[in-house]
Every structure is written in C-alpha cells, then in structure tokens.
C-alpha cells in the first residue's frame, strides 16, 4: 500500500513553455501533498504544501506564479511550471500524506519527474 505515482517521469521542453506534472496517490486518499525540488547532487528542498480544496502554502523564495499547484482531489495534485527556463531544470518529487487515517502522518514519496528545459 501507500503508493504514489508521478507523471511524466521525465520531460524535455523548450524555454518559455509550461509543463504540468501530476502526482497521484494510488491506494489512499491524501489530504496533504508536498512538492520538493532537487538540483543535481543536492538535497530535497520543500517548495510547497498543498491541501485538498485550498490554496497551496509556498516556502520562502518559491514563486507562486511560476509554480502553480492545484490539489483538486484527494488523490491528485498537479504542479505546473509556467514559462519554464533552463534554470528550472531539476528533479521534482512529490509526496503524499494519508492524513487522519494514520497514527502518524508520514509522507510517501513519488518516483520523481526530471525536467529539462532547453
């Protein structure tokens, strides 16, 4: 159980285009999902926390208008990188929190999406 998927697993796009990444919890409902960003040889940095049905909470320094997060259902959150630029190239990882059903709210991670902006 507790499987999280991401789609696509990798994407290459031209500078200026927008890219949407999906994060799905496959066998549980996730009241909260998280989006992380990982540059090569660096650690995971939390970008934002999304709660189903409400606006995402962004970490300091993360541009809300550039990284649009939508958590429209209990099993799906999307991250849209708008007007992508080469500096947005990174590994994006989502995680999902089962919420109240767990005795401890831990995060289950997706496999990640590698974004390359040309």
Partner 1 sequence: AQKVTQAQTEISVVEKEDVTLDCVYETRDTTYYLFWYKQPPSGELVFLIRRNSFDEQNEISGRYSWNFQKSTSSFNFTITASQVVDSAVYFCALSEYETGANNLFFGTGTRLTVIP
Q: Would you tell me which residues interact with partner 1 (CB under 8 A)?
A: 32, 34, 41-46, 49, 91, 93, 95, 97, 104-112, 114
Q: Which is nearer to partner 1, 67 or 108 (CB)?
A: 108
Q: Which is nearer to partner 1, 54 or 104 (CB)?
A: 104
**Residue 87 φ/ψ, nearest 5 degrees:** -70, -10
What's the closest the beta carbon of residue 52 comes to partner 1, in angstroms?
A: 14
What's the closest the beta carbon of residue 51 comes to partner 1, in angstroms?
A: 10
Q: Which is nearer to partner 1, 12 or 16 (CB)?
A: 12
What's the closest the beta carbon of residue 117 comes to partner 1, in angstroms?
A: 18
Measured CA to CA, the distance from residue 27 to residue 64 in angstroms comes to 29
Measured CA to CA, the distance from residue 96 to residue 6 in angstroms comes to 11
Q: Which is nearer to partner 1, 82 or 104 (CB)?
A: 104
Cis peptide before 8 (omega within 30 of 0): yes
Measured CA to CA, the distance from residue 109 to residue 3 in angstroms comes to 8
Strand 19-25, strand 4-7: pairing: antiparallel
What's the closest the beta carbon of residue 16 comes to partner 1, in angstroms?
A: 26
């Amino acid at each position: 159980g507790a499987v999280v998927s991401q789609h696509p697993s990798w994407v290459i796009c031209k500078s200026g285009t927008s890219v949407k990444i999906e994060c799905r919890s496959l066998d549980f409902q996730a009241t909260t999902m998280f989006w992380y960003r990982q540059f090569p040889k660096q650690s995971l940095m939390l970008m934002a926390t999304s709660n189903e049905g409400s606006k995402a909470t962004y970490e300091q320094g993360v541009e809300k208008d550039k990284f649009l997060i939508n958590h429209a259902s209990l099993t799906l959150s999307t991250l849209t990188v708008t007007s992508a630029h080469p500096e947005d190239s990174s590994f994006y990882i989502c995680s999902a929190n089962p919420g109240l059903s767990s005795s401890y709210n831990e995060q289950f991670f997706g496999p990640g999406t590698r974004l390359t902006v040309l």
